[in-house]
Chain A
């Protein structure tokens, strides 16, 4: 049980076990590495699936409670098995491809949207020393993975051979690249304070005080930009039902649509995981108070708190209009981001 608190020791025990396995049974090292990679991939895929299961149900329940109703209540006690029913329904739907669609690109776009979202899970650090890879430029890697997903969205809109999907895909891509600039600017204040892009270093630099205290403006900018990046309300003009039917994923059905869905919820979790790591201290407890629960519980609790805030914002604010959308990023968020960097630099040089 105490291994959950001191996860460095857990990692050392597992490494020792694997080295013994290599020496005693003569298994070559590349087989062990490959085996570890497969196991980790399965764990991450399982986590994403379970995460989406929980988040879809949570979204429906949270929206229901905000709108003063009860949400899905029939399937299972209190509607808990609703997402299982949704998943079973999606699995047995017919897979349609429009006649004029470009078949290869139509097939590839859900993969191009989903794969970078999974790639970003490699860099986040769940607990001391528990992370898939210790990347020195972890934060930049996650932003690069985020920008790869944009390509999939515009290809999805294009290959549907549907004018409104094309428009939706282009608007979505333009929105994502506008808010990407604001996102990266809002993070630079944190990088200046800690001097490193490595996520473990960022967490250990917050041992005394979480960065949300030092960078409140940065936290707000990051939250707004992350919500716009993942195409969630109030910035979801491109996939709102009243506007463009489904936007870029109108023509997709069954498993391909499920891929887009999984990609969106995986993105929401990554955004909140990065927000937790950068501003809320990652897997650490509140500085000064004793750590009561294992670090991974702290991390997941903070992540899901931010996800709850994102869902709360969705059902509170009206949708932003498409002409106000870009203006909001370029004329409001980016100057505020520069102001944040300037203020941080000023205070740092004054100390």
Chain B
């Protein structure tokens, strides 16, 4: 196994996650796609840490923690906005539009 295999896998996952963010209308699905992208970044870091030094693993650990915190806050905001506006279609949240 070479690093190229892992990096190509990470690129594929990142692109799938990006497609999910672009094309999904439900806010929870967008959060799920962002999680896919975070996973692919972590995989990248862990792959390089086998060649250089353990900083890659430690940074991937921080990515996991930050991802979990972001999901908690994002879901709280989504819950509140769904309760207040009774719809979950992201295109309808356009109150701030100029």
A contacts B: CB pair < 8 Å? no
By a beta-carbon cutoff of 8 Å, the part of chain A in contact with chain B is: none
By a beta-carbon cutoff of 8 Å, the part of chain B in contact with chain A is: none
